[in-house]
Structure 1
Amino acid sequence: MLRSQFEEDLLNLHNQFYEMGMLVSKAIHKSVRAYVQHDKELAKEVIAQDEQINNIEILLEKKSFEMIALQQPVTTDLRRIITVMKASSDLERMGDHAVSIAKSTILVKGQNRILEIEKEISEMSDSVKKMVDNVLVAYVKMDEKDARMIAAMDERVNQHFREIYDHAISAMKANPETVVCGTDYLNVAQYLERIGDYVTNICEWIVYLATGKITELNSNRAQ
């Protein structure tokens, strides 16, 4: 009886984690769309929905501690609970970065927009969103091979960041009037780059879940 209850609790934990992941994925997508389309209403939606993401994280953490205390799970079961706790904390931070992008949309000042860089930011966010969506599937399947492959996709995200950085710096040097929006582009690109790093963290937790080993997948990423 206890075991089946535990299995059910564990399944609920996983389902809630996945639901949280889907909310974060939507938040990232919406925040960049709002930013590129200068849609302040959509940005406000992202900010308003962040509370829901935070609440799920608090719930997951509370439930995880409860399960550890009451069931005293060992080995694989314990790994599954720890993975949910750690990975949901990464998801929550990703949601925070989506909020930061949404806030940039609302605060955006000045008329000097550089459409070429906005297009690059949009492409960078597509790469990030692909990582986020894939990592959720890899998590559900506990697929170590996929997790390693997704972590490798972070290099493309970093490449996007370097290109946006170079373009923004050149634009600001060439035309001082683009300094406000150029700085903004750098911030947004940095938020996206950090989201890629958090996805890589989740990939590491999937590898831990599958193998029991803590493995660093991208040693060159920012901590």
Structure 2
Amino acid sequence: YICECSFHFDLPPKTRLDNLFDSNYEIIDAAGNINPDPLNFEVKDKYKYIDKIKKYRKITGQKTALMCANGIISNLRAVVVCFNPKFGAGRFGPAENEHFLKAANFAIQEKVDMWIVIYQSSGIDVHTGITGLAGMTKSIIAMDLIKKAKIPTFAIAARAVAGGTYASSFFQHEFIIIESKCVENLLFSGKRVTANILKGTGAIPESFGRADGIMSAGLADITLESRKEL
């Protein structure tokens, strides 16, 4: 999954969990029957969004874009939350919100030693409206409760981290790690949109949204040479 040029291709969440945990781990299932499409969103004469979600579920074998698990890493008990970019580009909608909260509650109740989130997310699912946006607040509150429980928190940027996930839970972690120097699209909005907003104030830097740009801005703690270092 790593090219000779050092480009890192997406790893399936299960492969990531297999590599991270020392041995066996337990999956934290999605929370109940949360409606992933509360607005019954559809584009007339083109598609219904629920059909896309069904397709994502079939492709990934997951109920949400998250795969959550608990187990042992280097003799420390950890809860790991991993986004799957093949599930709607790592969407964060109502179903993902509740899955995230369930994993957070488990970590707090079990008093684990580490909380790790591997981000590969395009942001809040716009098809779900305010119910999706509510996930920003919910995930921030969950992160606050985890930290109050004195559980060290780690965010790993493995791919794009954009929109609402970038603007909410990602920067709530105590330690922020970028998986490789090739990671880019770490931003709230794209370069074109940002350039329009900043029109007249000078061009945005070439490193905008890239690993080196995030590091030079002091927004991350470390950039790894390769995910093999994890």
Please confirm whether the aligned pair reaches a TM-score higher than 0.5, indicating the same fold: no
Which one has the largest radius of gyration? 1
Q: Structure 1 length normalisation: TM-score? A: 0.27
More strand by percentage: 2
More helix by percentage: 1
Q: Structure 2 length normalisation: TM-score? A: 0.27
